[in-house]
Structure 1
Amino acid sequence: MYYGAIEAGGTKFVCAVSRDGAGIEARTSIPTTTPGETLKHVFAFFDSYPLISMGIGSFGPIDVNTDSDTYGYITSTPKPGWGYFDFLGEIKDRYNVPTAWTTDVNAAAYGEFREGGARSSGSCVYLTVGTGIGGGAVVDGKVLEGFGHPEMGHILVRRHPEDEYGGNCPYHADCLEGMAAGPAIEKRHGQTGDMLAADDKVWEIEAYYLAQALVQYTLILRPEVFILGGGVMKQTQLFPLIRQEYQRLLNSYVDTPDIETMITSPAIGDDAAVTGCLLLAAEVKA
């Protein structure tokens, strides 16, 4: 018998199974196209394994409120075909097993908390910076959710004094995602981040926005570890810039752990979310 995991991203789905709830025994990657086409391949993978339970970490926004009529749905996503799609319902119709349901970034936070860079801590925030920006948190050993799930990428930020870019978010323009996600970098400078020099001014501006976000998360949640993943954070020169700007903005107002270990990259790399999904699958109650 196997635990199943689906890391449902806007670009690709990663499906995996495990017999111990942590180590990945088999996996596949599926392009995210239409719901019908994507799930056809998801089902083809899982139909080969007798499942005990599943864990799903999905791109969002999603409905995590169990009292809601749309619990288990992907809700107001701009991704064509996926808006108000009953994702959890489709999975449970196919596999009648207990299923954990959360965001992909919450799953990544939990994976890093249990098996990665936050393993020795009591709390962490995972922020992914790529095509969009999303964040998840683990507090007191539990994934953080309330009426809904956190939307850390859409907090409002102060504009950098030298930044004239208007912002890329269709909802808020100059929120964190609108100013610091990959498309904002490309539209601001006419090149993707991987084409820009490591000492380009863009990285100072990027660090300014990301450090603002980490300061706000610090003052609200006081996590022990920030784990920054996603395609933009492959630009490793960002880490010292973010740490420096974070300390400047926080200005010693509250105590924090050692800055070098507090703001770090994912210890389990791109497997953080799928690992978190497997762990949640192993813990879900019927």
Structure 2
Amino acid sequence: MSQPVFFAVETGGTKIVWRIVDAAGVVLDEGRFATGRPEAAVEALVAAAAERPVAGLGVASFGPLVVDPSSPQRGLMLATPKPGWTGFNLSRTLADRLGAPFAVDTDVNAAAVAEARLGAGRGARAVAYVTVGTGIGGGLCVDGQTLKGALHPEIGHLFVRRVEGDVQASACPFHADCVEGLAAGPAVQARLAGRRLEDADEVRAVVADYLGQLVAGLVFAWAPDRIVFGGGVMSTPGLIIEVEAAARRRVNGYGSAVVMGEGGYLVAAEREHAGLDGAMLMAQDLAA
């Protein structure tokens, strides 16, 4: 009889990645495929399991979805523009097909867990993870547990005060002044008009200001010991330092500034596949 395995899945807007490990954490199989209809995704993932007994399934998902562990709708996808996904519960459907217990969280919350336990957040009690790419998302891990309310954090849609003279149209179809609409990848590309961010000081200053406002808000609302940044925009050399400087200006010495220490409060993500790593930790925790 085959030995039990742990199955991790991360669903994204364009691709789904998965990994299977044995009880010792040795990778047995992994893969990826394009995100299509959810029913097709379930069939592909069941095939990937190859009839191996699954001791724990962890799913890190794009949202919005129900993540409350006590809810009978845990894992249910809410309104999303992805065709066929609204009202579908991939986690529960896949778990039922595999006969396995499951844990589900947002991709950014899962990434926060991975960075807190395995990456740039090690040694800190409260770790926030922020990704700045096509969109902006964030999660919080405190003592190994992620922040969940009636839903989950949507920090990319927090409002920021516009930099004086900035008339760039928001890239967000819902909000004219949210940080995602003004500083995520599509907004940055529109500002750059074909240039590189590292070569456009005036654009980088605006982006750093908006992200600094976001960080200041997280300091006031969550007071994390450390904030880990990931995503393509944050790979720009020097940007993370400029964002921290902007955040310190916004906090302006208020008492909450004590959590930021003297420097290096913002750190770059260490895990290349933090969301998938977090999903695997969630799966393994089911057997703990």
Residues 21 and 282 in structure 1, CA contact (< 8 A), matched pair in contact too: no
Local SS of the residue matching 1:107: helix
Q: How does 1:1-286 map onto structure 2 within 5 Å?
A: 1-20=4-23, 24-47=27-50, 49-66=52-69, 68=71, 70-191=73-194, 195-253=196-254, 254=256, 255-258=258-261, 260-268=263-271, 270-284=272-286
Residues 8 and 58 in structure 1, CA contact (< 8 A), matched pair in contact too: yes
Which structure 1 residue ranges, 5 or more long, are not aligned?
none
Distance across 1 between alignment mates of 2:237 and 2:55: 39
Residues 55 and 287 in structure 2, CA contact (< 8 A), matched pair in contact too: no
Which structure 2 residue ranges, 5 or more long, are not aligned?
none
**Fraction of identical pairs, as percent:** 36
Please say which of residues 151-160 and 73-82 is displaced more in the overlay.
Answer: 73-82
Please say which of residues 259-268 and 234-243 is displaced more in the overlay.
Answer: 259-268
Distance across 1 between alignment mates of 2:35 and 2:71: 26
Deviations for 1:188-238, whole angstroms, at most 9, x for unmatched residues? Answer: 3433x7x44434321111111111111111111110110110111121321
Deviation for aligned residue 1:78? 2.0
Distance across 1 between alignment mates of 2:24 and 2:121: 18
Question: Residue 15 and residue 214 in structure 1: after superposition, are their counterparts in 2 closer, same or farther (change >3 A)?
Answer: same
Deviation for aligned residue 1:23? 5.9
- Corresponding pairs, count: 283
Distance across 1 between alignment mates of 2:216 and 2:199: 24
Distance across 2 between alignment mates of 1:96 and 1:180: 43
Distance across 2 between alignment mates of 1:22 and 1:206: 40
Deviation for aligned residue 1:256? 2.4
**Match of 1:216, as an amino acid?**
G
Please say which of residues 15-24 and 237-246 is displaced more in the overlay.
Answer: 15-24
Local SS of the residue matching 1:256: helix
**Match of 2:165, as an amino acid?**
E
Distance across 1 between alignment mates of 2:23 and 2:260: 33
Deviations for 1:151-203, whole angstroms, at most 9, x for unmatched residues? Answer: 11111111111311121212223211111111111233433x7x444343211
Distance across 2 between alignment mates of 1:53 and 1:245: 42
Deviation for aligned residue 1:49? 3.4
Local SS of the residue matching 2:199: coil
The alignment's TM-score, normalised by the length of structure 1, stands at 0.91
The alignment's TM-score, normalised by the length of structure 2, stands at 0.91
Local SS of the residue matching 1:16: strand
RMSD in angstroms over aligned alpha carbons? 2.1
Residues 244 and 266 in structure 2, CA contact (< 8 A), matched pair in contact too: yes
